[in-house]
Amino acid sequence: MQNSSTPFSSRLSKLLLISLVVALVVPLSGCPDPEPEQRIYVLAIDAFRADYFEEAETPTLDALAENGVFYREAKVSAPSQTRVNFVTLPTGTHADRHGVVGASYRSPDFAHRSTDFPDYDGAQEDLPVPTIFEVLDREKGWETAYLAMKGYELVGARGADYQVHGEEYIPEHIWEERYETEVNGSWDQAVEYKQEMDDHLYDVLIDVVEQRDPQFLLANFAGLDYIGHQHGAEEDYLDSITHVDSLIGDFVEYLEGEGLLEYSTIIIPSDHGMTNIRNPENTIMDGGFDEPDFPELDDKGIEHAAYSNGGLAFSLYVEDSNRLSETAEWLQEQDFAEYIHSEHDISGLDGTLSEINLNHPERAPDFFVSVHPDYTVAFESHGQHGSLRDSDMYVPMIYSGAGVAEGVEVEGRAAAENVDLAPTVLEMLGLDPDVHLETQGKVLQEVVN
Ligand SMILES: [Zn+2]
């Protein structure tokens, strides 16, 4: 821009005129509105695999990453499963602390238990650690919201003022087909239905922001996860990343239109990645969810229970501790067992449960088994997750907007983890995470500096 040639005196008189007008106008309108307080929107993208962020067309996420702090390969909690990580995110703890080790587990007396039994409210009461919703309510009086899609994310929602389950806002004809690879014989229609699930979540998001204006909100765009499972991490999966990107772009425009963007922090995490299954018909533990076991172990008289973790891993519980070595030997012979973790002193295994933060004192399995992607657990599927593979454990993570540093890309795998989100948000708000949470995470200094 060229220098203005307007004489200084003329500019000064303009300034004086403007001041006079402002002085006249302001008292007439009373006290100006106070500045809106900060809003924090955590918009999770379920099953957003790190290396696919590179490939997908994502103008909104690219801009958020460029203007904020971007972690290319953030690490999720093990098992790399939705309900586990959606408790990790608002509590800053791993499964060994928050106790949501998977969908089901066996208690020390070998009784079957579900992590959302008897209902989400009951499971929330059971959580032994504080949630960020409780802290923000108590310390700042903030209104908060947790917009789930699958429903079981809500196990981590204790203290959120407004909680919504996908079944409440997704039309029944779409909800009922969410696990189908084809709808009316059409693969494309099945994909469209799953993308539409995200559209419906978006509508709820706008309604909640307009009507309740929560200052902290966590929403889960989960259409991508259904697409990854039913259709694999292929072209439709990439298109669906672009679809969510456009919805987040609409949200940014909405905030801008409402004059809220400059007060808003947008955080994009994910709960796990997605691994392509090479032979979906190689299904293990296919007795269904009611009979989750291995006939070969039954034949040996080994009482056991196995529960799928996301379809590419399982937790195995053995009733008689004298049969553990024998069970380990059998597992090691199986082609499907890629990594075997156990806290028991058995040689030749791949690691302990403590190393992967899964050694919960009362709920830990005897063995946590990551399955090779030539196989799938419990049901035929083109994509699964849950394992310790990089494609399941690493996701992008973006912090952008109010209170966040700009233009920082943090190199290094696992520089950020899901367990870091809650402590980082509290630090950003001037609350000491070590005082208010029982977190196992760290404050991401690049974000708050
Ligand atoms: Zn998920």
Q: Are residues 261 and 325 in the same domain?
A: no
Neighbours of 311 (CB within 10 A): 26
Q: Is 380 within 8 Å of 285 (Cβ atoms)? A: no
Is residue 104 assigned to a domain?
no
Residue at a domain's end among 363, 380, 397: 380
Ligand 1 mean position to 223 CA, how many Å?
A: 10
Ligand 1 mean position to 47 CA, how many Å?
A: 5
Ligand 1 mean position to 36 CA, how many Å?
A: 33
pLDDT confidence of residue 10: 42
Is residue 305 assigned to a domain?
yes
Q: Are residues 375 and 405 in the same domain?
A: no
Ligand 1 mean position to 32 CA, how many Å?
A: 45
Structural tokens at position 280: 């979906």
Q: Are residues 375 and 395 in the same domain?
A: no
Ligand 1 mean position to 230 CA, how many Å?
A: 13
Ligand 1 mean position to 275 CA, how many Å?
A: 12
pTM, whole model, 2 decimals? 0.91
Is residue 119 assigned to a domain?
no
Q: Which domain holds residue 374?
A: 283-380
pLDDT of 11 > 70? The answer is no
Q: Which amino acid does the sequence have at 401?
A: G
Is residue 217 assigned to a domain?
yes
Is residue 1 assigned to a domain?
no
Is residue 124 assigned to a domain?
no
Ligand 1 mean position to 406 CA, how many Å?
A: 29
Ligand 1 mean position to 225 CA, how many Å?
A: 6
Q: Are residues 80 and 184 in the same domain?
A: yes
pLDDT (average), residues 274-282: 93
Ligand 1 mean position to 61 CA, how many Å?
A: 19
Residues in the chain: 449
pLDDT confidence of residue 16: 41
Q: Read off the CATH number of the domain in which 32 is found.
A: 3.40.720.10
Confidence of residue 120 (pLDDT cuts 50, 70, 90): confident
Mean of the per-residue pLDDT values for the chain? 91
Instruction: Mark 81-98 as b/e (b = at least 16 C-beta within 10 Å).
Output: bbbbbbbbbbbbbbbbbb
pLDDT confidence of residue 420: 98
Is residue 236 assigned to a domain?
yes
Q: Are residues 404 and 341 in the same domain?
A: no
CA distance 449 to 28: 40
pLDDT confidence of residue 32: 56
Is residue 239 assigned to a domain?
yes
Ligand 1 mean position to 363 CA, how many Å?
A: 21
pLDDT digits (tens, 9 = 90+) for 393-436: 999 999 999 999 999 999 899 999 999 999 999 999 999 999 99
pLDDT confidence of residue 280: 87
Of the candidates 278, 303, 313, the one whose C-alpha atom is nearest the C-alpha of residue 385 is 313
Q: Among 13-22, 35-44, 363-372, which is the least confidently predicted range?
A: 13-22
Ligand 1 mean position to 226 CA, how many Å?
A: 9
Residue at a domain's end among 347, 380, 413: 380
Q: Are residues 314 and 192 in the same domain?
A: no
Q: Is 366 left (phi over 0), alpha (psi -120 to 50) or beta?
A: alpha
Q: Are residues 86 and 36 in the same domain?
A: yes
Ligand 1 mean position to 130 CA, how many Å?
A: 22
Structural tokens at position 149: 């899609």
Q: Are residues 362 and 416 in the same domain?
A: no
Q: Are residues 360 and 413 in the same domain?
A: no
Ligand 1 mean position to 153 CA, how many Å?
A: 9
Structural tokens at position 376: 């799938």
pLDDT confidence of residue 116: 83
Ligand 1 mean position to 270 CA, how many Å?
A: 8
Q: How many domains does the chain have?
A: 2
Q: Are residues 172 and 249 in the same domain?
A: yes
Report every protein residue that has its C-beta within 5 angstroms of ion ligand 1.
Answer: 46-47, 82, 225, 271
Q: Which amino acid does the sequence have at 327?
A: T
3-state secondary structure the chain: CCCCCCCHHHHHHHHHHHHHHHHHHHHHCCCCCCCCCCEEEEEEECCCCHHHHHHCCCHHHHHHHHCCEEEEEEECCCCCCHHHHHHHHHHCCCHHHHCCCCCEEECCCCCEEECCCCCHHHHHHHCCCCCHHHHHHHHHCCCEEEECCCCHHHHHCCCCCEEECHHHHCCHHHHCCCCCCCECCEHHHHHHHHHHHHHHHHHHHHHHHHHCCCCEEEEEECHHHHHHHHHCCCHHHHHHHHHHHHHHHHHHHHHHHCCCHHHEEEEECCCCCCEECCCCCCEECCCCCCCCCCHHHHHCCCCEEEEECCECEEEEEECCHHHHHHHHHHHHHCCCEEEEECCCCCCCCCECCHHHCCCCCCCCCCEEEEECCCCEECCCCCEEECCCCHHHHEEEEEEEECCCCCCEEECCCCCCEHHHHHHHHHHHCCCCHHHHCCCCCCCCHHHHC
Residue at a domain's end among 380, 406, 434: 380
pLDDT confidence of residue 34: 62
Q: Are residues 30 and 47 in the same domain?
A: yes
Q: Are residues 371 and 404 in the same domain?
A: no
For tokens 């969810």, what's the residue? 289
Ligand 1 mean position to 82 CA, how many Å?
A: 4
